[in-house]
Structure 1
Amino acid sequence: MTKALISIDYTYDFVADKGKLTAGAPAQAISEAIAQVTQQAYDNGDYIFFAIDGHDEGDAFHPESNLFPPHNLRGTSGRDLYGPLGEFYQKHQENPRVFWLDKRHYSAFSGTDLDIRLRERRVDTLVLTGVLTDICVLHTAIDAYNLGYRIEVVKSAVASLNQENHQFALNHLQNVLGAIIIE
């Protein structure tokens, strides 16, 4: 079994109090856990992909422009990784097992070469972390499921805007997509 950890959108705009589309306290509460899980995956020799939302200012054609305020704009600090995860990336970004992947939509697979990169490395299991459990994490998991990957979600390293959405997503991940929820 070859694993890759997919760290989804754990950026300033989604986590910090002053972020443009922040999940606030629930996302901040997972800061240490997400850093620890990422370091553990790195120490285990797993691949690490930072799948990060990237938008262009004034892009009226992007469907999210009608749903959410501008966020994770290219060239802004809103796209910086939050907390210790940022330090991890700065330290290991030159390692051939660590990747930054710009994504345009909710899923880390939509419009990216993630599937190709995973298959080249014979990855069969994805460990998902990040925010938001019920949006980008869930959509990434749905695509992973449809592409035949095994899915693991680290419960202490994912968060949503509220507990109800978070729990719905965890239930869906486990009961509909067959994801293993790691406590």
Structure 2
Amino acid sequence: MKNPKALLIIDYTNDFVDTSGALTTGKPGQKIEPEILKLANTFLKNGDYVIFPTDLHKENDPFHPETKLFPPHNLKNTWGHELYDQVQIWFNNHQTDEHVYYFDKNRYSAFVNTNLDNFLRTHKICSLTLTGVCTDICVLHTAISAYNLNYQLTIPQNAVASFDQNGHTWALTHFKNSLGAQVI
């Protein structure tokens, strides 16, 4: 029996993707939605996992470092924190599937302050495919954590995006050259 794999759909929320989002990637983020949905369907069909690590903040949190760096975004119980468009519909239709896992995170990396590593190891998952936004922030930091924990990484170029094209391009090179990820 093969070890299952996991697709991580990182921070694909209204605030990061919708044109009206507080910290939006805009068109680049919207353009990747069909590929994310295709991958999600393929992973579920193959008996693999689809995981949604999702950024969550409190407004004006004096203890969170992002408060000084970015405008308020992904605030609890707001439209901005909801998954974007068709990905939200996909999640609503599959959220009771035992192979779909959603959790909130409060740092760039989906591994910091969460039980993600424990979840993956419990389910004998060694191979991760990272998608979502932002390529050079949360996807990057999640990839670095995964690398340091010895996970095999795949990054589909057409399923990650950023509001910074230079950062996006740099991160794709870093995934391949410094983290040994398969960039496809």
- TM-score interval, smaller chain: over 0.9
Alignment of 1:1-183 (within 5 A): 1-182=3-184
The answer (yes or no) to whether the contact 2:127–2:152 under 8 Å persists in 1 is yes
2: CA distance between counterparts of 1:121 and 1:177?
23
Offset of residue 162 of structure 1: 2.8
Structure 2: unaligned runs, 5 residues or longer: none
- 50-59 or 132-141, larger mean C-alpha shift: 50-59
The aligned amino acid for 1:99 is Y
Deviations 1:41-71 (A, max 9, x none): 1111111110000001221110000000000
The aligned amino acid for 1:8 is I
Query: How many percent identity over aligned positions?
Result: 49
SS at match of 1:151: strand
Offset of residue 173 of structure 1: 0.3
The answer (yes or no) to whether the contact 2:4–2:47 under 8 Å persists in 1 is no
SS at match of 2:92: helix
2: CA distance between counterparts of 1:154 and 1:13?
22
SS at match of 1:156: helix
2: CA distance between counterparts of 1:167 and 1:26?
13
Structure 1: unaligned runs, 5 residues or longer: none
Offset of residue 174 of structure 1: 0.5
TM-score, normalised via structure 1 length? 0.97
SS at match of 2:80: helix
SS at match of 2:51: strand
Aligned residues: 182
2: CA distance between counterparts of 1:2 and 1:99?
14
Task: Let me know the Cα RMSD of the aligned residues.
Answer: 0.8
The answer (yes or no) to whether the contact 1:26–1:162 under 8 Å persists in 2 is no
The aligned amino acid for 2:142 is T
Q: Which runs of 4+ in 1 moved over 3 A?
A: none
The answer (yes or no) to whether the contact 2:106–2:113 under 8 Å persists in 1 is yes
1: CA distance between counterparts of 2:26 and 2:98?
32
SS at match of 2:109: coil
The answer (yes or no) to whether the contact 2:135–2:171 under 8 Å persists in 1 is yes
1: CA distance between counterparts of 2:35 and 2:164?
18
